[in-house]
Chain A
């Protein structure tokens, strides 16, 4: 209950903070491309957080949706000649459909079985992409992914070739997704998800069809992750096989947890931390994932609330000092 109260109380504050971060990112960072990357991964982490932080479902297969979104939108643009909006809609619908399929087979299993099933299904996607190399390029990845401009009903509105223009476009989508997710969490649906996280059998005894709620959350998460995947393909004009590999699922989970689960702002912080860490450290030392491994262990042993949890408790400590 207390948790709900704080998240409600912070509602206006966190939304403003997200907005501020989105505005500051391209100004502070050396390139708009890097800022775009952070925002795209923040979207994927947010979708994962919706499941983990609110529904208590740890999906280790988010890479499947991310990769499927990149591949399918890219293929639709290359072979079908579709525009930006259609490509993104294709990714969203595909992500939702794949998530529905995976969810049907795995959502009735709880806890660690769910984690293992989602991981195994994401591996299916990986080997599918690897096997269908005629379409996906296999190990070499899918090259020459276009980034069409925004057009509606045949009228070209905005050209997105420039890094800054594309950043603004992605940031606007992120803001829309963020506000949408916020609304979902504050709705009765969101409260039910939290109830399921806290005690599934009790939620079910009260009369909620918990499987149905979890399925909905999973589908939503798949759709948003696939959207992020599609935007990423357009950002780097390329879909590497890594987009659908286990490492992608792993990274999305790491960003979510580093940022702090149960806080949507945390996802942005988590994505920023991991992307920047990779950007800075990989140029200094290619074996930087070793440090990431150490960091993960330290976070679990010493800082379990994630970055945002750490900031929150720091704020809490400071205000308590003021009162005293």
Chain B
């Protein structure tokens, strides 16, 4: 990296600051997706390969609800709720039947669900992606001294940080969270102690998938909605979980931010290789810490 000089360097510095903020926003989206995956796996010992598909559904709901209502705040509320409700119904009717089977069958069923989501999105919204306008209230830039940053992206960082904090409170400070954490240790024991474990499973599944939907709604105005975005998002969620360690809230946060920052900073240095470097970072972490940063052996 060249030494920073006061005149020419200021622009460079701003560029890097810009990309770091972008990386934080991207990282928080990755965090929301991965933490949902991790919570579900922790309690239900179930891997959701349709997670990327639900993210995509979130993006399309952002598009559709904005078209329908024209109100961003309502969309932000309804979008994730619809995704969570769908997940809740799916858990009750389908996922519950296959908990007792090996992981291979969990994967097959959720791959099937992902295919159904993807093809349904194409049937409803067409094979070509939709771009989503930035909501009026959050258009424009925030100016801090010489530095300007898009309002919506700043909102994205703050809002997802707030959601992350609420989620942490929910998991660490409420009865529901205590049950989820206890259930992750021993489902049987929690069940024996008189908790309706099935109700807990449905709620947790809906919560985890709803978080992917929320991430989708939030990132809609930035990257739009495309029918084939599911696999890419699923791949990134796996990378985050592999880096952070499966079942770890902190791991999802650190892993998500790390990947977001790597991807965003690489965009300035080597745009074509930005996505590739995500996986390079993962390989590096795996070499140094085979069980992830916060994972248990």
Contact = CB atoms under 8 A, between A and B. Distances in A.
B235 A115 contact: no
Contacts of B254: none
Given A112-B47, A113-B246, A300 B279 contact: no
> Is the interface on chain B under 10, 10 to 19, 20 to 34, or 35 or more residues?
35 or more
A244 B234 CA distance: 16
Interface in A280-313: 287, 289-290, 292-297, 299-301, 304
A121 interface: yes
Interface in A86-144: 105-106, 108-109, 111-113, 115-117, 119-121, 123-124, 127-128, 130-131, 133
B108 A300 contact: yes
A58 interface: yes
> Is the interface on chain A under 10, 10 to 19, 20 to 34, or 35 or more residues?
35 or more
Contact of B97 (A113, A292, A301): A301
Contacts of B112: 292-297, 300
A297 B234 CA distance: 19
A31 B279 CA distance: 41
B246 A105 contact: no
Interface string B218-233: 0000000000000110
Interface stretch (B17-25, B119-127, B147-155): B119-127
B119 A300 contact: no
B163 to A, nearest CB: 24
A287 B286 CA distance: 38
Nearest to B282: A120
A77 interface: no
B115 A290 contact: yes
A38 interface: no
Contacts of A121: 279, 283
A238 B158 CA distance: 47
B119 A60 contact: no
A261 B105 CA distance: 12
Q: Which of A120, A245, A247 has the most CB of B within 10 A?
A: A120
B115 A131 contact: no
A105 B287 contact: yes
A246 B115 contact: no
Nearest to B118: A289
B113 interface: yes
B285 to A, nearest CB: 10
Interface of B: 41, 47, 94, 97-98, 101, 103-105, 107-109, 111-116, 118-120, 122-123, 231-232, 234-235, 238-239, 241-242, 246, 272-273, 275-276, 278-280, 282-283, 286-287, 290-291
Q: Which 5 A-B pairs have the closest CB atoms?
A: A293-B115, A296-B112, A290-B119, A124-B279, A293-B116
